[in-house]
Amino acid sequence: MALDQSFVGRSYPSTEVWEVGREKIREFADAIGDDNPLYRDPEAARAAGYPDVIAPPTFAVVLSLKAHHLVINDPELGLDYSRVVHGDQRFIHHRPMRAGDRLVAAAHVDDIRSRVGNDFLSMRAEITTEDGEPVCTSRATLVARGTADRPASSEEATA
């Protein structure tokens, strides 16, 4: 079943406030194999001009996924997640995420396109502090394989 095109332009409410913790940043840095002291040592971070440790740039995926799941799990969209592959992920950072940040993310459906029998769902998560300061814009594209409506072939149209 094809994705519902009326979802283009739809926005979802912000996620609950999520506090960025030093330990979560360290765990993420460990998971990606990055031993940068800015992600682990508050003194090194302060010496570099930050108030506390900062997160690796891809750490934004943690919060953006919370927002994107609001879209993905919306039953009216018609997304069969078992047919989904991740097509693209991009981050535009307005400033580094840092320990102590209290963040929210609002999800938006930017586009739904059908190509060669596949649906391409483009979403965006605007990550801000709870006070509204922009921190990161995350863009993701999911590909739902074999779900798009296909035009009838010439043989089917004449049958």
Q: Residue 159 falls within a domain, yes or no?
A: no
> In 33-150, where does DSSP find H-type helix?
42-47, 60-72
The answer to whether the CB of 66 falls within 8 A of the CB of 15 is yes
Q: Is 110 inside a domain boundary?
A: yes
- Tens of pLDDT along the chain (159 residues) come to 788 899 999 999 999 999 999 999 999 999 999 999 999 999 999 999 999 999 999 999 999 999 999 999 999 998 988 999 999 999 999 999 999 999 999 999 999 999 999 999 999 999 999 999 999 999 999 999 988 765 544 444 444
CA 18 vs CA 15, 62, 90: distances in Å: 8, 10, 21
In a domain, 70, yes or no: yes
Which residues have C-beta within 8 Å of that of residue 137, sequence separation ≥ 6? 91, 92, 94, 124, 125, 126, 127
In a domain, 144, yes or no: yes
> Would residue 128 count as lying in a domain?
yes
Contacting residues for 75 by C-beta, under 8 A, at least 6 apart: none
SS3 81: helix
Find residue 129's DSSP bridge partners: 103
Q: Kindly state the tokens that stand for 41.
A: 């040592």
Counting the structural domains of the chain, the total is 1
Q: What predicted TM-score, i.e. pTM, was given to this entire model?
A: 0.87
At 22-60, the pLDDT tens digits run 999 999 999 999 999 999 999 999 999 999 999 999 999
Q: Is 16 part of a structural domain of the chain?
A: yes
CATH of the domain at 69: 3.10.129.10
Could you tell me if residue 38 is inside a domain? no
Q: What residues make up the domain containing 84? A: 5-20+55-149
Q: How far is CA 25 from the centre of its chain?
A: 17
Residue 32 lies in a domain: no
